Amino acid sequence: MQRRELLRLLGGVPIIAGLAPDELLALGRVTHHQLAGEPSSLGFFTIHEMHTVAAAGERIIPATDTPGAMAAACHRFTERIVAHHYPAERQQRFRHGLIDLDQLAANQHGRLFIEADSTAQDAVLAAVEAAAYAARTGGADSFWRDLKQLTLFGYYTSEIGIEEELHTNRFPGRFDGAMPIAEAPR
Amino acid sequence: MSRREEWDAIVIGSGISGGWAAKELAEKGLRVLVLEAGRPIDPARDFLMNAPAYEFDYRYFLDQDYGWRKGYNPRQPVQQKCYACDEGATQFFVDDEDNPYTTPEGRPFDWIRGRQVGGKSIMWGRQCYRMSDLDFEANARDGHGTDWPIRYRDIAPWYDKVEAYAGISGEKLGLAQLPDGPFLAPMPLTASEAWFRDGLRRAYGGDRVLTIGRVAVLSERHNGRPACHYCGDCHRGCSTGSYFNSVQTTLKDALRTGRCRIRPFSVVPVPLKEESTARVTGARVLDALTMRSIEFQSRIVFVCASALESTRILLNSRSRSHPEGLGGNAGVLGRYLMDHTMQHGASGDVAGFEDRRTFGSRPNGVYLPRFRNVRDPHPDFLRGYGYQGGGYRRVEGWGRGVARRGFGADFKHALRTPEYGTWRMSIGGFGECLPNPDNRVALDPVKVDRWGVPVLHIDMVWRENEQVMMRDAEVQAAEMLEAAGCRNVKTYNNRTPPGLTVHEMGTARMGARRQDSVLNRWNQVWDAPNVFVTDGACMTSSGCQNPSITYMALTARAADRAVTLLTAKEL
C-alpha cells in the first residue's frame, strides 16, 4: 500500500505524521484488512473515521448477552446525522474528537484507537468523558455528548435495540392507565 | 372540442367533509366526481404506522427540536411547526413553496394543510365534541358575528348519524353544553387522571368535571373496522383503519356504490359558471401533473376543500356579476376568520401510585368541558374554553443514558430497566375565538401558487377577548390542580399564533339573511344555490370544541338537502 493511499484511508489524521514509516505501514495493514468487510457509507466520514466511530460506539454499548452498537450499525446512523444535520462547526468538532481518540490512544498506548485493545479503548473514552465533564458545560455540548447521544439513539432505534435489547412491544393491543409495575410485560 | 364529462355532483376536496359529501351523495344515487388537488393515497403503501424507527432515514431524531425538521424537507417551514408533521407523516403535509400564502408583517398565521386523497383526515387529532345551543345561540346573545341560522335540534340527528358511522369512543356526561352521542366504550383513564377527576368532584361538585376524550378511534370493533391496538402512531396512517379518516371509511363506501370516481391531481381554481346567471355548471380542473385544463359538468357542486381553500375558490370566482367572488355580494366573504386558542394551561405533580405505570399508547387524552359563561356571565370575557390534557408518569428509559456519565456493559444493562419518577397531570385550554370582521382572508394581489392560482393573504390576531380568556384558563387550570392536591403547579402559555391549532374556520359563514352571510341554513351559497360549502368555511361562530364532527354532520345534512332539492327539481 502506498503511503498516500494509506493517508487517504486514515483521513489525513495529523498524528500519523508522528509515526515512523514502519509503524504507519503496520497500521495500514490492519486498517486495510478491516476495510474489506465494511459496507459502503455516505462518504462523509473517511473509512478510518468510520472505523473509529464504530469502535468507540462498541465500547459505549458493547456486545454482551445481546449484540452491541457495531452489530446495530450505529456508526452509519451517526454518520447520517453528523453529515446531514450538524452545522459545519459541530461536524468539525466531531472530526477533531475522533482525532483526539487516536491522539490519546497513541500517547497512552502507542496505537491508533481502533488498534488498541478494549481495555485501552475504555481508558481513552474515560479520559475523553472526564475532560468533557470537567469543562464549563459539565459534559453537555461536547464531542463526547454527541458521540454518546448518536450511539445510544442509533442503537435503541435499531432492529437489534428494539427487538433484542428492549423487547419493545410496538402493538400493545390494549391500554392500561394504572398497571402494577410488577405485572407489566417488558 | 371534446364533450365535457357530465356528473350529477362534483365534490371539491376529499378530506373529512368531502368524504362525507361523496358517500352521502353517491349512496343516495347520484353520480359523484371527487376532485382532489393532491396525490392518491393507498393505505397499504402510504400509511406508515407499521414502519419501525429504523426504516426511516433519521429515525425521528430531528423531531426532538421542530427547528431541526428542515432536515427532512427544507420546503415545509410552516408545516413543520405542527406536532404531527414528523418524519413518519411529513409526506401528508403540503410543500410550503408550492403552496404559498402571505401575512402582514408581524402577524403570523400558521396555515397547516394536507393535499392528498384523505386531506387532513389522515393526520388530524381525532377529538370529537358536539356543539350545543350554548354555541348556536352565542352570536345572537352577545352580538358578535351574525346569528346561526340553525339550532342544536337541526343538527342533532346528523351528529347521531355521523357518530354512529365513524365510531366515537367516549363517556356520556349528560351536560347541556356538551351533548352526548352514541359512544363506543370509553378508553381508560390513567392513575393520575382518575385521581384528578375525583379531586375535581370533591372541590367543585358537578360544575367542573373531567372525562376521557371523545375520540374517533375505535375502542371496540365497529362497522367492519377492528379496534385500536394502541401503538400511538395514528397520524402516520393506521394499517388497520381503526381511526376515522376518509380514505378508509367514507371514500371507500362512496366508491363501493359504483357511482363515484376520485380524480387526484385535480386543482380546481374556480367552479364553472354561466356569466349571466348565478348557476354553477361544474368545475374547471387544472391537472396538477400535466397543467392541462379540463372541464367537468355537474348539477351541483360541494366545496369541501378545507376552510380557507374553499373560500379561496369562492374568492377566485370573481366575475362581472360577482366582483367580490362567488358568495361575495354581502361583503362578508373572507371575513370572520376564527381558530381556537391553545397551549395555555397548567401542570403539576401527583403524589402516590408509585407501584403503577401505564401500558400501551392511548391515542387520546382527557377533556374538561367548558364551565365559563355557561350559567353565570363572567365579568371579564365572553364565551369560554374547554381543556384537553393528560396525566402520565415520568419514565426515563434509555434516553437518560445520554446525559449520564458512564458507558460499557454495566451501563447498557442498567438502561434496560426504566426509572420511574412522579406522576403528572397537565391540562391546556382550547378557547373560543370571537367572530371579528377584521380577522380575514383576501386574495393576494400579486402572488400565485405553483399552478398559477392567486393565493390568500391571511390577516388574523388573537384579540382582547381571547387574550383575557387565555389568562383565565391558565389561572383556573392551576387552581383546579391545586384544589385536587397537585404539587409544584406551574402555568404556561406557549403563545402559539392563530392557525397552528388547525381549527381554522369561518370566512364563508352561514346566516339567516343573504345581506350578511355567504351561505344559507343548508350551506347553499345565497348567490348560487347549487353550490354547497360544508367544511370549516361555513362556521358562524367557533365554539371551543374541536370542530371536525360538526363539519361531518353539516355535510351529511346538506347532502340530504341537496338530493331532496334535486329530486323536487328545485335546483
pLDDT tens digit sequence for A95-151: 999 999 999 999 999 999 999 999 999 999 999 999 999 999 999 999 999 999 999
Taking the Cβ of residue B403 and every Cβ of chain A, the question of whether any pair is shorter than 8 Å is answered with: yes
CB B423 within 8 A of CB B350: yes
> Which residue in chain A is spatially nearest to B53 when comparing CA positions?
A157
pTM metric for this prediction? 0.94
What pLDDT does residue A12 have?
A: 44
Q: Which chain B residue's Cα is nearest to A167? A: B416
Distance CA A178, CA A176 (A): 6
Shortest CA distance from A83: residue in chain B: B71
Q: Are B325 and B486 in contact (CB under 8 A)?
A: no
Q: What's the pLDDT band for A184 if we cut at 50, 70, 90? A: confident
The pLDDT value recorded for residue B324 is: 93
What pLDDT does B49 receive?
A: 87
Query: What value does the mean pLDDT take over residues B229-235?
Result: 95
Q: Which three cell numbers stand for residue B539?
A: 362556521
Q: What is the pLDDT of residues B334-361, one digit of tens each?
A: 999 999 999 999 999 999 999 999 999 9
Q: Percent of chain A having pLDDT more than 70?
A: 77
From the CA of B521, how many Å to the nearest CA of chain A?
Answer: 42
Contact at CB, A175 and B187, closer than 8 angstroms: yes
Instruction: With CB atoms and an 8 Å threshold, state whether A129 touches B360.
Output: no
Return the residue of B nearest to A84 by Cα.
B71
CB contact under 8 A, B358 and A177: yes
Chain A CB contacts of B73 under 8 Å are none
| Cross-chain residue pair B359–A184, CB shorter than 8 Å | yes
Element (H, E) at A41: none
Cβ atoms B463, B434 nearer than 8 A: yes
Contact flag A172-B230 (C-beta cutoff 8 Å):
yes
Residue B570 C-alpha, separation from nearest chain A C-alpha, in angstroms: 51
Q: Is B407–A129 a contact, with Cβ atoms under 8 angstroms apart?
A: yes
Q: Are B24 and B566 in contact (CB under 8 A)?
A: no
Statement: residue B2 has pLDDT above 60: no
Q: Is the minimum CB–CB distance between B570 and chain A shorter than 8 Å?
A: no
Which residues in chain A have their CB less than 8 angstroms from residue B71's CB?
A: 84-85
Which of A74, A80, A101, A157 is most worth mutating to test chain B (most B CB atoms within 10 A of its CB)? A157
- List the domain boundaries for chain A: 3-167
Question: Which residue in B has a C-alpha nearest to residue A64's C-alpha?
Answer: B409
pLDDT band at B320 (very low <50, low <70, confident <90, very high): confident
Lowest mean pLDDT among A18-32, A82-96, B407-421: A18-32
Q: Would you call A62 and B398 a contact, using CB atoms and an 8 Å cutoff? A: no
Chain B hits for A143, Cβ within 8 Å: none
- Looking at the predicted structure, is the pLDDT value of residue B497 above 70? yes
User: Among A101, A122, A175, which would you mutate to test the B interface (most chain B Cβ atoms within 10 Å of its Cβ)?
Assistant: A175
B355 shares contact with chain A (CB less than 8 Å): yes
Q: Once rounded to an integer, what is the mean pLDDT over residues B306-325?
A: 94
Nearest to B217, CA basis, from B364, B368, B50? B364
Contact list, A146 vs chain B (CB under 8 Å) = none
Per the CB < 8 A criterion, the answer to whether B532 and B563 are in contact is no
d(CA A171, CA B232): 9
Q: Which of B353, B398, B404 to mutate to test the interface with A (most CBs of A within 10 A)?
A: B398
Give, in order, the Cα–Cα distances in Å from B366 to each of A88, B363, B417, B529.
44, 11, 28, 41
Max Cα–Cα distance, chain A, nearest Å:
66
**C-beta atoms of B231 and A170 within 8 A:** yes
Measured between beta carbons, the chain A residues lying within 8 angstroms of B356 are 178-181
pLDDT in tens, B191-226: 999 999 999 999 999 999 999 999 999 999 999 999
Q: How far is CA B81 from the centre of its chain?
A: 16
What ipTM was predicted for this assembly? Answer: 0.93
| Contacts A180 to B, Cβ<8 Å | 355-356
Q: What is the pLDDT of residues B249-302, one digit of tens each?
A: 999 999 999 999 999 999 998 888 877 777 899 999 999 999 999 999 999 999
Of A84, A148, A158, nearest to B71 by CB-CB distance is: A84
**Quick check: B150 and B132 in contact, CB under 8 A?**
no
Q: Which residue type does B2 have?
A: S
Query: Which three-class secondary structure state does DSSP give residue B344?
Result: strand
Mean per-residue pLDDT, A6-14: 46
Q: What integer best gives the mean pLDDT of chain A? A: 85
B342 and B499 Cβ atoms separated by less than 8 Å: no
What are the tens digits of pLDDT across the range B516-555? 999 999 999 999 999 999 999 999 999 999 999 999 999 9
Answer yes or no: do A60 and B411 touch at CB < 8 A: yes
**CB distance A148–B407 less than 8 Å?**
yes
Please compute the mean of the pLDDT values over residues B417-424 and round it to a whole number: 97
B405 in contact with A, Cβ within 8 Å: yes
Per cent of chain B over pLDDT 70 is 99
- For chain A, percent of residues with pLDDT exceeding 90: 73
Q: Is the pLDDT of residue A1 over 70?
A: no
pLDDT at A10 over 80: no
pLDDT, residue A35, reads 44
CB A52 within 8 A of CB A98: yes
Mean residue pLDDT of chain B comes to 97
Nearest to B555 by CA among B7, B22, B10, B178: B22
Contact B313, B271 (CB under 8 A): yes
A60/B408 touch (CB, cutoff 8 Å), yes or no: yes
Contact assignment for A175 to B407 by CB distance below 8 Å: no
Touching check for B451 and chain A: CB below 8 Å? no
Contact call for A162 and B52, based on CB within 8 A: yes
CA distance B475 to chain A (A): 27
Q: What is the pLDDT of residues B19-65, one digit of tens each?
A: 999 999 999 999 999 999 999 999 999 999 889 999 999 999 999 99
Q: With beta carbons less than 8 A apart as the criterion, state whether B470 and B346 touch.
A: no
Angle, helices A88-109 vs A74-84, to 10°: value is 140
**B59–A77 C-beta distance less than 8 A:** yes
Question: What pLDDT sits at residue A109?
Answer: 95
Chain A residue at shortest CA distance from B51: A170
Q: How would residue A13 be classed by pLDDT, with cut points 50, 70 and 90? A: very low
pLDDT band at B138 (very low <50, low <70, confident <90, very high): very high
Contact B60 A177 (CB under 8 A): no
pLDDT value for A5: 47
Residue with cell 359558471: B273
pLDDT at residue A27, as a whole number: 55
Q: What are the pLDDT digits (tens) for A22-49?
A: 554 455 445 544 543 455 578 999 999 9
